[in-house]
C-alpha cells in the first residue's frame, strides 16, 4: 500500500511542472506571473503505538565501505531515513572519515532536517574551514534553519576571498533578496548569466532573471510584487525555506495577498510542515473560495494528515471548479476513496486513469486489489492480471501481485516463487518479505522466516505491516 502513497507524494509535489497557478500582484491590477512548473491509515497512529520492538538479537557487522555504499544506494533512491542510518553506521566504523559525515549532512538537509544537517556540517567546517563546499553547505543549512545572519557571514567571507565562486555568489544574491536589496541581487544574477560556464548555475538563475524582466515591464512596480515573484523563483529552484521566510515577510503587511498564501501553503507542503500548510491554505480559501488550486493543495494537506473526509471535500470542490490537470486530481481522489474503503467510488476513477496514464503499473495494483479483496469481480481481476503480465512482465510489483493472488488462494509454493522473484528485482518490498516470513514459519523454516520478518519490520513504512512482522518475529524468537 505505501508504495502508491509515496509515489503520489512525488507526483503531486515533485519536480514536474504542473503547478498550474498564476500569481498576481497584491493589488487588483492584471500583472500576472506566468504558470510553471486508509481506513488503514486512519488507524495507523493506534497501530504504531502498539507496534512491538523486536527482541534483541546479534546484528551482523558490515565493513565501513559496505555501510557507506549502502547509504549511497538509499541516498540515490531518495530514501534519506535509511541513508542516515547507513551513513551513521559507516561513521561508527571509521570515526575519522569525512565522507559519511558530509553525506549525513546532505541526507538531513534533503530530509527537511536542517538543524541536524548543521551539526554534521559544522563538525567538518570546524576542522576544515578551507573546504568551500562545506562552507556553502553549512550556509545552506543555516538558511534552511532560518539563521540568515550566520549564513550571510559565511557567504560574504567566501565571496570576499573568492569572488569567482559562483555558488557563493548565487546564495549571496538570495540573501540580498531577503534583505530587500533587489538591485544588488539582480546585478549578481546578470553577472553570472554573462560569465558562468556552468549550465546548472545558468538554470538556477534563469527563473530570477525572467521575473526581473517581467517586473521591469511595469513602471513604478510595487516592490512587494517583485518580492513575490522572486519568492516564486525560489520555489521553482527548491529553495523552499528561504521562500517561506520571504513570503511570511510579505504577509506581515499584505495580509490579503491570496496568491502568496497559496504559494506559502505549497512551500509548507514541500517541506513537510503539514499543519502549517493546512492553516495557510485555509486562510487562502477564506480570501478566495473560487480558486481550485487552493482546494487541491488543501486536500493534499488533509490527505497527508490522514483526514480523508476533509481531503475528499477539498478534492471534490477542486473538481467542481475544473482543476487541471484533471488526471492528477482523479488519482489522488481515487486514493482518498480507497483509503476510506469507498471502493465503489475509487474503482471508476482508477479505471478512467488506466487509459489516461501511460505509466500505470500502480493503477493495475489498486484495481486488482479492489476486485480480488474488497468488491469481488473475478472476471475483471483476471483481465487486469493478464494485461499486467503482458505490459509489465519483469516488474517487481507484478510478481508481488501474483504472489498475493497465489497466497490468497493457498497456492503457497507459487506464492513463494513469485515473492522471491519480486525481491530479487526489488529487495525493499515489505509485503513480499512479510508473506515470505509467514510461509517459512508454516514450513518450520525458522531462520528464513525470521530473516524476512525482520526485513519487513525494518523497511516498511506501514505501521500495520511493522506491527504484524514484529509480533510474528518475537513469537519465533521466544520459542
Element (H, E) at 177: helix 166-178
User: What integer pLDDT is reported at residue 235 of this predicted model?
Assistant: 95
Residue 40 clears pLDDT 70, i.e. is over it: no
The answer to whether residues 95 and 120 touch, using CB atoms and an 8 Å cutoff, is no
Other C-beta atoms lying within 10 Å of the C-beta of residue 442: 10
Q: Which of 47, 165, 24, 37 is nearest to 464 (CA)?
A: 47
Q: Say if residue 146 is preceded by a cis peptide, omega within 30 of 0.
A: no
What secondary structure, in 3-state letters, does 383-429 show? HHHHHHHHHCCCCHHHHHHHHHHHHHCCCHHHHHHHHHHHHHHCCCC
Rounded Cα gap, residues 441 and 245, in angstroms: 54
Residue 232 pLDDT: 95
Partners of 36 in beta bridges: 19
Distance from C-alpha of 422 to C-alpha of 390, rounded to nearest angstrom: 16
Cell numbers describing residue 326: 484533471
| Phi, psi of 355, rounded to the nearest 5 degrees | -90, -15
pLDDT of residue 420: 96
Backbone angles phi, psi at 171, to 5 degrees: -70, -25
Q: H or E segment at 328?
A: helix 326-339
Grid cell 525555506 in the structure block, residue: 241
Quote the CA–CA distance of 291 and 225 in Å, as a whole number.
20
Domains and CATH numbers, the chain: 394-479 (1.25.40.10)
Residue 126: which pLDDT band, with cuts at 50, 70 and 90? confident
| pLDDT above 80 for 189 | yes
186 Cβ contact partners less than 8 Å away, ≥ 6 residues apart: 173, 208, 209, 212
* pLDDT digit string, tens, across residues 149-160: 999 999 999 999
Closest CA to 436 of 404, 462, 474, 459: 404
Cα–Cα distance, 435 to 453 (Å, whole number)? 8
* pLDDT tens by residue, 243-297: 999 999 999 999 999 999 999 999 999 999 999 999 999 999 999 999 999 999 9
Handedness of CA 49, 362, 265, 318 (dihedral sign): negative
- The whole-angstrom separation of Cα 350 and Cα 339 is 13
Whats the size of the chain, residue-wise? Answer: 479
Q: pLDDT of 386-428, one tens digit each?
A: 999 999 999 999 999 999 999 988 999 999 999 999 999 999 8
Distance CA 445, CA 36 (A): 55
Amino acid at each position: 500500500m505505501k508504495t502508491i502513497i509515496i509515489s503520489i507524494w512525488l507526483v503531486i509535489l515533485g519536480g514536474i511542472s504542473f503547478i498550474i497557478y498564476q500569481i498576481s500582484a497584491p493589488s487588483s491590477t492584471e500583472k500576472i506571473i506566468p504558470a510553471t512548473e486508509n481506513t488503514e491509515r486512519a488507524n495507523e497512529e493506534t497501530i504504531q503505538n502498539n507496534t512491538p520492538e523486536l527482541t534483541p538479537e546479534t546484528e551482523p557487522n558490515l565493513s565501513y565501505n559496505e555501510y557507506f555504499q549502502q547509504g549511497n544506494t538509499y541516498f540515490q533512491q531518495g530514501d534519506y531515513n535509511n541513508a542516515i542510518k547507513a551513513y551513521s553506521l559507516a561513521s561508527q566504523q571509521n570515526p575519522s572519515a569525512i565522507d559519511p559525515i558530509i553525506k549525513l549532512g546532505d541526507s538531513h538537509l534533503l530530509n527537511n532536517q536542517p538543524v541536524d544537517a548543521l551539526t554534521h556540517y559544522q563538525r567538518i567546517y570546524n576542522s576544515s574551514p578551507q573546504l568551500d563546499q562545506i562552507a556553502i553547505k553549512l550556509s545552506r543549512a543555516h538558511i534552511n534553519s532560518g539563521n540568515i545572519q550566520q549564513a550571510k557571514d559565511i557567504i560574504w567571507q567566501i565571496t570576499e576571498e573568492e569572488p569567482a565562486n559562483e555558488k557563493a555568489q548565487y546564495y549571496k544574491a538570495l540573501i540580498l533578496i531577503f534583505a530587500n536589496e533587489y538591485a544588488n541581487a539582480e546585478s549578481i544574477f546578470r553577472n553570472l548569466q554573462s560569465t558562468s560556464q556552468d549550465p546548472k548555475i545558468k538554470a538556477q538563475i534563469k527563473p530570477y532573471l525572467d521575473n526581473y524582466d517581467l517586473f521591469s515591464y511595469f513602471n513604478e512596480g510595487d516592490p512587494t510584487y517583485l518580492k513575490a515573484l522572486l519568492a516564486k523563483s525560489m520555489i521553482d529552484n527548491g529553495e523552499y525555506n528561504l521562500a517561506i521566510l520571504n513570503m511570511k515577510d510579505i504577509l506581515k503587511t499584505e495580509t490579503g495577498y491570496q496568491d502568496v498564501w497559496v504559494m506559502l501553503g505549497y512551500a509548507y507542503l514541500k517541506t513537510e510542515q503539514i499543519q502549517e500548510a493546512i492553516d495557510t491554505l485555509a486562510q487562502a480559501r477564506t480570501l478566495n473560495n473560487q480558486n481550485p488550486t487552493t482546494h487541491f493543495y488543501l486536500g493534499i494537506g488533509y490527505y497527508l494528515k490522514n483526514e480523508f473526509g476533509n481531503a475528499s471535500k477539498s478534492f471534490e470542490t477542486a473538481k467542481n471548479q475544473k482543476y487541471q490537470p484533471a488526471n492528477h486530481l482523479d488519482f489522488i481522489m481515487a486514493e482518498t476513496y480507497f483509503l476510506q474503503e469507498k471502493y465503489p467510488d475509487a474503482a471508476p476513477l482508477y479505471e478512467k486513469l488506466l487509459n489516461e496514464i501511460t505509466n500505470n503499473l500502480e493503477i493495475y495494483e489498486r484495481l486488482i486489489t479492489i476486485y480480488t479483496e474488497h468488491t469481488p469481480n473475478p472476471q475483471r481481476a483476471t483481465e487486469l492480471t493478464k494485461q499486467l503480465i503482458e505490459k509489465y512482465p519483469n516488474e517487481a510489483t507484478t510478481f508481488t501481485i501474483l504472489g498475493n493472488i497465489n497466497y490468497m488462494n493457498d497456492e503457497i509454493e507459487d506464492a513463494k516463487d513469485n515473492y522471491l522473484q519480486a525481491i530479487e528485482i526489488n529487495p525493499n518490498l515489505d509485503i513480499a518479505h512479510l508473506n515470505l516470513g509467514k510461509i517459512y514459519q508454516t514450513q518450520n523454516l525458522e531462520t528464513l522466516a525470521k530473516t524476512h520478518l525482520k526485513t519487513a519490520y525494518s523497511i516498511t513504512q506501514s505501521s500495520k505491516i511493522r506491527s504484524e512482522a514484529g509480533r510474528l518475529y518475537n513469537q519465533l524468537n521466544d520459542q
